[in-house]
Structure 1
Amino acid sequence: MSGSAAAPASLPRPKGHDWTVLAARLKGGSRAVVVLGCAVFIASLIGLASRHAFSVSFWPANAVLVGLALRDRRLFCVSGWSAAFFAFIAGDLLFGNGLSLAMSFAACNVVGTAVAVSLLRLLDRRDLTLRRVHSVLRIVSRLLPASLVAGLCGAALVHFQFHGSALQAMMTWPASELVNYLIVLPAILTLPVPWERRDTPFARRGSQDWKPGLFLAVSCAAMVVFDGPGSIVFPLPALLLCALTYSIPSTTLMTMVLGTWCMTMIGLGYMDIGQDMSIPRMVVSIRVAVAFLVLVPLTISSAMEVRDSLLTQLRKAADHDGLTGLLNRRAFEQRMGDRLGSGGSQVVLWLDIDHFKAINDRYGHLAGDAVLKSFADTARQCCRATDLVGRMGGEEFALVVEVSSLAGAKAVAERLRDAFARRSVMWNDEPVHATVSIGAAHVDRGVSDLPELISQLDGALYRAKRKGRDRVEWLAESDAFDCLHAFG
């Protein structure tokens, strides 16, 4: 639409803050395009340097372009592809290629990467970050046709620009594209960056263990020292161990380093695998071997991530109440014992919602569930993330909150009681009010008899109910002392 055209009535022009937001988005998109162009240019220089120095070249630029376009959807636009196109041309010109040839190579790269991005964008975000069992296979199934399209473009380029064999180009070009993608793309898609939030953190037990990484480094050295036809698989056992031990980003970074290392060592002739690299089918064979070398640990790491995620979900389901999301009785008492056994000034609250049966009888059990969830929300808001909040069963709850003194403990108990009393749940357009009775104890020493403390708190809770409800009853100091002992 031209600047003089009037905006439709249903789409008013942005005003005030809207213009600020739009300007900020455009500015952020422009910066992203510049970053994309610079990254593709640098990656192109690396690839062109390897093409001049190696018999087996390494071209990371296309994988860099695809990875950045997938991570930032703003780059999948005309300006993004234009920046990449001119970055490819600039690299070729810097290495002395003519403008016509540089534009031809750039066109091949842009077409192949555009197909790759278009196909990969159809995948679930979890597949792109390798968080599903068959993620790697799904990614490869999209990269294969993109590599074939790039091969067709390359074959046409070889035929018309160099009068070479299009068949030979179709044999070598797709294999080169695929291995470059598998080496570089997973790392770009999974490595965390400070400005991106992840809904699921990558973490795995043993991630601080340095021995698998050392094993991989030793294997890579052995691959060069004891070179030969089978040396390329020397690092595979170490890679498998790393995939079982480290997180997905760490594993993808290791596979990228290893794949680059293999291509570099073979290309420079530091590793003799007993093949003539001047024969195209031998080059294809090496590229496919490197592709499978990185494919196996990526697949295993992806499966391990799924397993770890399922285990985390199972632990959460086993430890948390399904209705309120709070800790269940078993998990709460276990963590409560650990917390109180270590000493420190803390307040323990045992709570029960007043007249809960009457709420269920009058409004129904769904309304009662809404009241339970309302109290759970109130308790979370009154506590820190490090405090313990649990549902003991029915309408009974418990909390362990770290405090600095007895006065602080009383303030916590009263704040929670008052906050819930002021809160209401709307049910069928009618507010449902509820209060809570609390049995409380201030603990400043290690607990030696947890069941006795719970029994005393339960007694204090029912004293609060007998005295009128919506109140806090504190454990007598003499009763609390019988449950405590000082450490050391």
Structure 2
Amino acid sequence: MVDAVRAMLLVCAVVGGGAALGLITRHAFSVAFWPANAILVGTMLRAPHLHRPAGWFGAGAGFVLADLLFGQSPALSGWFAAANVSGTFVAVLALRRLASRDLRLRRVHSVMRISVGLLPGSLVAALTGAVMVVVQFHGSPTQTVMTWTASEIANYLIFLPAMLTVQPPWRRERRVATAAAAKPLWPLLLLAVSCVLAVYFDGPGSIMFPMPALLLCAMTYSVSTAALVTMALGSGCMITIGLGMVDIGQDLSIPRMVVSIRIAVAFLALVPLTISSAMAVRDDLMAQLQQAADHDGLTGLLNRRAFEHRLHRRLEASANDGGLTLLWLDLDHFKSINDRHGHPAGDAVLRAVATAIEGCCREDDLCARLGGEEFALALVAPDAQAGALIAERLRSTIAALRIDGHGTAIRVTASIGAHHLDHWPVDPPALLRGLDEALYRAKHGGRNRIEWLDADLTRQAA
């Protein structure tokens, strides 16, 4: 009961706020700016627990309260609420059938699939509105269906993609935020200039002035950023045309002209969003290829090429925060594990060791499988003592592993060559040779132990 009341109040507040925003900015009947329906559909799709009778009752209450607050009669408030709730309910049912990747605009045809899913809801809302027009105003149902459907589609395409793709700040990963911050700003500046020119050189074609810059933004920024830019531009078009700031040279009292303008605004959003979605698919594929190229297929750790490339970049730097501890690791008697228990058991041992290695690494550390039973780590450590504690913890963790080998507990140990680096510049080949030598000294010294580079080798590596 408490959850139902909470859902009702939350949806009521969200929908009421969206409806109030549309009513405040509705300066012209012919070009309607109405974000409430897209906000409601996006909320129901992003928070499925609200898709329940109490949530939809709250939606209807939000529409009615907003209309009453702006002086609408109770009868008309009920009609408008019925049209909006029925249309959004059908739209939610249709869009819930799409894959989650489509709703996040991560497939090439996502925008088209969403557009098709919005059509039934838009028609249901338009038909309900047509009944209202006939009953209350004795108007034309045909004109109402045309203009209402076009308005629903335009408003959905302007606002819904942002509702579906934008993540709240507390849910964004740090690396995503950093990547977004690195994007250039000049496409946005070009878009702003094109919007000013559209207002200055008004006319039938002015609505398309921002399209080149908008396409450039779609190819430059993430899907969520492109959706926000498209939302700002589309709503700006609705408002400026409604206020008469942009004279498109058409008589907006003619229904077919209204439909034409709304469809133009819808396409203004549809094209760049489709391109942005296709770019996102390309980026995902490139990331998958890069992941496959840089990581070992069995353990998921970095492979030798990627590890050495990233390590060399760190070693060639003039400084490193707090120093770097390098660990070269080789499993003891691994061939006998394969011979005795079989290669599947050997693979299980490698995966278990990789998990133990990852447990010792933080976000800024590097860990890799160099090949066979050899692993390597580059760990940020403030001093040699901290590095020694990490190395010993890793050695003891591996020694404590018990891997199931068809009913037999397989034990494994590791020999480790180690060095703590706190001075730069460094000769990487010499340092890696020294680590290999330390590793073999650990092997020959009894295995399951750590061998640190001595002072002479340290100076040689440096």
TM-score by length of 2: 0.95
Match for 1:219 among 189, 194, 197? Answer: 194
Comparing 365-374 with 192-201, which one deviates more in the overlay?
192-201
What does residue 472 of structure 1 align with?
450
Cα distance in 1 for residues equivalent to 2:43 and 2:237: 24
Match for 1:368 among 318, 332, 346? Answer: 346
Comparing 113-122 with 244-253, which one deviates more in the overlay?
244-253
Percent sequence identity is: 55
What does residue 337 of structure 1 align with?
312
What does residue 272 of structure 1 align with?
247
Cα distance in 2 for residues equivalent to 1:199 and 1:402: 19
Is 1:392 the counterpart of 2:370 in the alignment? yes
Comparing 193-202 with 362-371, which one deviates more in the overlay?
193-202
1:431 partner letter: A
Cα distance in 1 for residues equivalent to 2:173 and 2:99: 15
Is 1:288 the counterpart of 2:266 in the alignment? no
How far residue 53 of structure 1 moved from its aligned partner, in angstroms, is: 4.0
Match for 1:145 among 110, 120, 125? Answer: 120
How far residue 452 of structure 1 moved from its aligned partner, in angstroms, is: 2.1
Q: Is the 8 A contact 1:203 1:247 kept in 2?
A: no
Q: 1:45 to 1:410 in 2, by over 3 A?
A: closer
What does residue 193 of structure 1 align with?
168
Uncovered stretches (5+) of structure 2, i.e. residues with no partner? none
What does residue 356 of structure 2 align with?
378
Q: 1:224 to 1:52 in 2, by over 3 A?
A: closer
Q: 1:335 to 1:307 in 2, by over 3 A?
A: same
Q: Work out the number of aligned pairs and report it.
A: 459
What does residue 73 of structure 1 align with?
48
What does residue 454 of structure 1 align with?
432
What does residue 422 of structure 1 align with?
400
Comparing 447-456 with 140-149, which one deviates more in the overlay?
447-456
Match for 1:402 among 374, 380, 385? Answer: 380
Is 1:123 the counterpart of 2:110 in the alignment? no
Secondary structure in 1 matching 2:459: helix
Is 1:43 the counterpart of 2:22 in the alignment? no
Q: Is the 8 A contact 1:202 1:247 kept in 2?
A: no
Instruction: Give runs of aligned pairs for residues 56-67 of structure 1, distance below 5 A.
Output: 56-67=31-42
What does residue 294 of structure 2 align with?
319
What does residue 12 of structure 1 align with?
none
1:435 partner letter: T
1:251 partner letter: A
Match for 1:445 among 412, 420, 423? Answer: 423
Cα distance in 1 for residues equivalent to 2:397 and 2:183: 43
TM-score by length of 1: 0.90
How far residue 199 of structure 1 moved from its aligned partner, in angstroms, is: 13
Is 1:483 the counterpart of 2:461 in the alignment? yes
How far residue 201 of structure 1 moved from its aligned partner, in angstroms, is: 5.2
Cα distance in 1 for residues equivalent to 2:282 and 2:174: 17
Cα distance in 2 for residues equivalent to 1:341 and 1:59: 56
Cα distance in 2 for residues equivalent to 1:447 and 1:396: 26
Q: Is the 8 A contact 2:27 2:243 kept in 1?
A: no
Comparing 401-410 with 134-143, which one deviates more in the overlay?
401-410
Task: Show CA shifts across 1:399-444 (max 9, x none).
Answer: 1112222222322222211111111101212110010011122222
What does residue 3 of structure 1 align with?
none
Q: Is the 8 A contact 1:229 1:274 kept in 2?
A: yes
Cα distance in 2 for residues equivalent to 1:201 and 1:139: 25
1:222 partner letter: L
Q: Is the 8 A contact 1:171 1:284 kept in 2?
A: yes
Task: Show CA shifts across 1:360-390 (max 9, x none).
Answer: 0000001111111111111111222211111
What does residue 167 of structure 1 align with?
142
